[in-house]
Amino acid sequence: MEKLTLIKVGGKIVEEESALNHLLADFSRVEGYKMLVHGGGALATKIAAQLGIESQMIDGRRITDADTLKVVTMVYAGWVSKTIVARLQALGINAIGLSGADMNVILSVKRPVGEIDYGFVGDVVAVDAGRLAMLLEQDIVPVMAPLTHDRNGNLLNTNADTIAAETAMALAQRFDVTLVYCFEKSGVLRDETDEESVIPVIDPDLFLQYKKQGIIRGGMIPKLENAFHAIDHGVKQVIITKASAILDHQGTIIQKRR
């Protein structure tokens, strides 16, 4: 199978001009087929505050009411998506910005109300790997915003790490997929204040241990849950690393339970 590298970039990198430019320059040099999934949460929170809309997060996931949905759509599928696409074009990469609604590539259902009402948040139920593969094989690089749809005319805010994992799993039926989660840290850290404290390898048992100890918490919990889900469903390799290290695959490697 042909190699595919799917890179998910976190929101803080998207917001920092020099970091984003460095990442996109490195991404343009990734060999083989490639795809980018981006966040934008930090910028969405900033814009929401400027509009007088309070952002509410629970375990790293955003509560999305009707006003917040409008903000994240403007930020993710608008400014962030088109900025990334324009800069990739400048680097000679023929990219296209997509949400899950475009070409019906990612279908979701609104998350049921349980103990928490997440609002207009989607849980992915289907990824059209065929249409994404069609773009890739035409040397078009998909740039996915973290928005999906329910096929009833509704957009749904969807965790970007989840989109990356679900897309990687779907494409693993057609490609040899490496999934790279990159953000501002060097990997999963034992001590958030120490960049040298990277945990080189994490398996499910270590994950549970570190979560219980409070070493892994907040937004890193769903990120790792998605990583394990991907590696258990056909994705060859999952790496969590610094945005400036996507070419050398340093950072934290996710492994299956032995």
What's residue 199's pLDDT?
A: 94
List pLDDT tens digits, range 29-49. Answer: 999 999 999 988 888 989 999
For residue 124, list its beta bridge partners: 108
Task: Give every CB contact of residue 236 below 8 A, 6+ residues apart in sequence.
Answer: 172, 176, 177, 178
Write the DSSP assignment of 2-60 as a string of letters: -EEEEEEE-HHHHH-HHHHHHHHHHHHT--SEEEEEE--HHHHHHHHHHTT----EETT
What span, in angstroms and rounded, lies between the C-alpha atoms of 31 and 45? Answer: 34
What's residue 23's pLDDT?
A: 95
Computed from CA positions of residues 129, 84, 21, 228, in that sequence, does the dihedral angle turn out positive or negative?
Answer: negative
Question: What does the mean pLDDT of the chain come to?
Answer: 93
- Residue 172: pLDDT band (50, 70, 90) is very high
What's residue 60's pLDDT?
A: 67
What's residue 191's pLDDT?
A: 87
What percent of the chain has a predicted confidence (pLDDT) above 90?
A: 74
What's residue 40's pLDDT?
A: 87
HSE value, Cβ hemisphere, 13 Å, CA-based, for 180: 27
Instruction: Looking at the structure, give the CATH architecture of the domain made up of residues 3-182.
Output: 3-Layer(aba) Sandwich (3.40)
> Between 27 and 63, whose confidence is greater?
27
Domain limits of the chain?
A: 3-182
What's residue 70's pLDDT?
A: 96
- Residue 55 falls in which region: left (phi positive, over 0), alpha (psi -120 to 50) or beta: beta
- pTM (whole model) above 0.95: no
For residue 149, list its beta bridge partners: 107, 155
